Amino acid sequence: MSRPRIVIVGAGFAGYRTARTLARAARGRAEITLLNPTDYFLYLPLLPQVAAGILEPRRVTVSLAGTLPDVRLVLGEAGRIDLDGRTVHYTGPEGERGSLGYDRLVLAAGSVNKLLPIPGVAEHAHGFRGLPEALYLRDHVTRQVELAASDGEGPLCSARCTFVVVGAGYTGTEVAAQGQLFTDALVRAHPLREGMRPRWLLLDVAERVLPELDERLSGTADRVLRERGVDVRMGTSVKEATPDGVLLTDGEFVGTRTLVWCVGVRPDPLAESLGLPMERGRLLVEPTLQVPGRPEVFACGDAAAVPDLEKPGEYTPMTAQHAWRQGKAAGHNIAASLTGRELRPYRHKDMGFVVDLGGVKAAANPLGIPLSGLPAGAVTRGYHLAAMPGNRVRVAADWLLDAVLPRQAVQLGLVRSWSVPLDTASPELARVPDGRERRRETDTPSDGAGAPSAGGRKAVGGGGGDDTSRTITSPTPEPVQSEPAKRNRQGAEPAEPRQAAESANPRRGAEPAKNQPGGEPARNQPGGEPAKNQPGGEPAKNQPGGEPARNQPGGEPARKQPGREPAKGRPGSEPAAGEQSRPQPAPTRSAPTRSAPQEGDR
């Protein structure tokens, strides 16, 4: 008798916990397959410390193969799911297509960045939901401080030292708190002009910081931020974002080169593409985490609307804490469904919350006891070490080294601005330089030249993001100067690379144009691979000393063209003796266009 096949989509908090729980409960009696774009589980709560240079990137990742030995890992992004045929179709990391049959399916696709219809935000902001975005922010902030130190004076110097964070939830608060400490440390290595200090702004339309927590914890966080120098502005948000700064809703224009967008998350569009009952973009499930009418399908984490039995009529919020617990419940219920045992509904009790404010500062309320200062900092770090499924010793070692050694202020340059767009369905994957985002295999038509619509976007391996998304904007080096960029360079003031990058990429989620600033240089442009028929490059095939082009004037006629062999001396024929054929210009590739995605937001 064959073993039952269980497919888990996504290895975030919910998916990873489901796989681990199920593997222990099944004990080899089931074939468990985990489909995820990356080979690691990402511990999101510590991502701000990666951006601030406290932790190395691998510290917040846990190997799936190393910690789930009884689970088969398949690298890929889920696309079309055939519920009637019980098949998941996916696209591999190199574009290959595949499918997985199942007897039980767990949807834990997670969430993506929440988008709002504010002009300029999609073009001048980046997400903060994956390692590429954290690495980019770390490099970008370092670069801005170093450039400001070399610029000396002027509005550009001030803009480089101004960092705007929108969203005062968990993520935005931690990014602002850690960011202020990070830039202060950078300034010690790269002093700014006298009287200038890095400036961080934290904006939110809510009345207070951390509005989802009680007022005592919110007041603690607010006090720590203000004492540290963060400009906290409640009841204020961004009205418009431009390459030079942001226009606030109170009418003030703030010059900046960094916009961190932390206004929340939305469920991955994979859930909506199934055509099942939804609740604000989340898949409706029963308290046992089963999809109504589909007892073989389970859903948990940010992609599922799970009834909150502690608060009748409500659904559990999209937090990592709920996703982690729901994953455990899903694993036990799937194992029970295979043996005919009774399934248990998901219940929870709040154990408290922790918010790391950097250094020894934190806000926490374990078991409902409000804490601040050093005790809260100890509880916060202890909680993270206990919650992490791996790398505990390495994380603790990095914390110890950060306490006794200065942080390294270097730019690695591994992630560019256009590699981490705000509008992306895969924040855990950096966009490759020579190709657009891989499309999901889906029945949903694309809404542009190569970009899938909202219902057919790629699945995220998330599952259990916290209540806010993480986002930033920043510049990209420009290999080719456009005319506006050249004009901006007059007066010895360097043009902001981000401006050039986004001018080449005006649409959300589109790949930068190959011959535009910020993208891969055109093949016949300076800074790129020399064109085959240009000086300094390989001689063109139809130039003296080279083989004549097959289908170019002066070369051998194309083999599949209508008509017979052309007469000698005419275009398409063999050139006459001593006659040189005219070189053909190298083709220039233009950027694919993409229409703005439909907002599947709450």
pLDDT given at position 346 = 97
Sign of the four-CA dihedral 105, 110, 115, 116: positive
- CB count within 10 Å of CB 97 equals 11
Q: How far apart are CA 76 and CA 38, in angstroms?
A: 8
What's the pLDDT tens digit per position in 451-475?
333 333 333 333 444 433 333 333 3
Look-up of token digits 């010895």: 492
Contact present, 109 and 18 (Cβ < 8 Å): no
Closest by CA position to 115, among listed 241, 300, 234: 241
Q: Cite the DSSP H helix spans in 87-214.
A: 121-124, 131-151, 155-160, 170-189
What's the pLDDT tens digit per position in 398-428?
999 999 998 888 888 889 888 899 988 888 8
Look-up of token digits 């767990």: 106
Residue 4 has pLDDT above 50, yes or no: yes
Q: For residues 506 and 63, which has the higher predicted lDDT (pLDDT)? A: 63
- CB count within 10 Å of CB 496 equals 22
Q: In the chain, pLDDT over 90 holds for what percent of residues?
A: 56
CA angle centred on 397, ends 392 and 398, rounded to 5°: 100
What residue type is assigned to position 247 of the chain? L
pLDDT given at position 593 = 40
Q: For residues 126 and 248, which has the higher predicted lDDT (pLDDT)? A: 248
Written as six digits, the tokens of 80 are 């079309």
Closest by CA position to 470, among listed 64, 272, 247, 174: 174
Residue 563 has pLDDT above 50, yes or no: no
Run of H or E residues at 163: strand 162-166
Averaged pLDDT score across all residues of the chain: 78
Q: How far apart are CA 359 and CA 500, in angstroms?
A: 37
- Of 179-183, 377-381, 554-558, where does mean pLDDT reach its minimum? 554-558
Q: For residues 101 and 483, which has the higher predicted lDDT (pLDDT)? A: 101
pLDDT given at position 597 = 39
pLDDT given at position 127 = 79
What's the pLDDT tens digit per position in 299-355?
999 999 999 999 999 999 999 999 999 999 999 999 999 988 999 999 998 888 899
Written as six digits, the tokens of 122 are 């999609």
Taking the complete model, does pTM exceed 0.75, yes or no?
no
Residue 141 has pLDDT above 60, yes or no: yes
What residue type is assigned to position 175 of the chain? V
What's the pLDDT tens digit per position in 569-587?
444 434 444 444 444 444 4
Residue 518 has pLDDT above 80, yes or no: no
- Of 62-71, 344-353, 379-388, 545-554, where does mean pLDDT reach its minimum? 545-554
Q: How far apart are CA 555 and CA 572, in angstroms?
A: 6
What 3 state SS string does 262-279 have? CCCEEECHHHHCCCCCEE
305 three-state secondary structure: strand
Q: For residues 137 and 557, which has the higher predicted lDDT (pLDDT)? A: 137
pLDDT given at position 349 = 85
Give the confidence band of 433 by pLDDT, cuts at 50, 70, 90: low
Sign of the four-CA dihedral 229, 230, 233, 234: negative
Q: In the chain, pLDDT over 70 holds for what percent of residues?
A: 71
pLDDT given at position 434 = 53
Contact present, 220 and 196 (Cβ < 8 Å): no
400 three-state secondary structure: helix
Look-up of token digits 């767009």: 421
Q: How far apart are the first and last CA of the chain?
A: 46
147 Cβ neighbours under 8 A, 6+ residues apart = 160
pLDDT given at position 588 = 43
- CB count within 10 Å of CB 349 equals 6
Give the confidence band of 150 by pLDDT, cuts at 50, 70, 90: confident
HSE value, Cβ hemisphere, 13 Å, CA-based, for 573: 13
pLDDT given at position 432 = 76
Q: How far apart are CA 74 and CA 92, in angstroms?
A: 8
Q: For residues 97 and 502, which has the higher predicted lDDT (pLDDT)? A: 97
Give the confidence band of 189 by pLDDT, cuts at 50, 70, 90: confident
Closest by CA position to 295, among listed 347, 340, 348: 340
Closest by CA position to 325, among listed 336, 314, 333: 333
Closest by CA position to 472, among listed 414, 418, 419, 422: 422
Written as six digits, the tokens of 188 are 């010690």
Q: How far apart are CA 125 and CA 310, in angstroms?
A: 37
3-state percent helix, strand, coil for the chain, nearest multiple of 5: 30, 20, 50
pLDDT given at position 54 = 95
HSE value, Cβ hemisphere, 13 Å, CA-based, for 249: 11
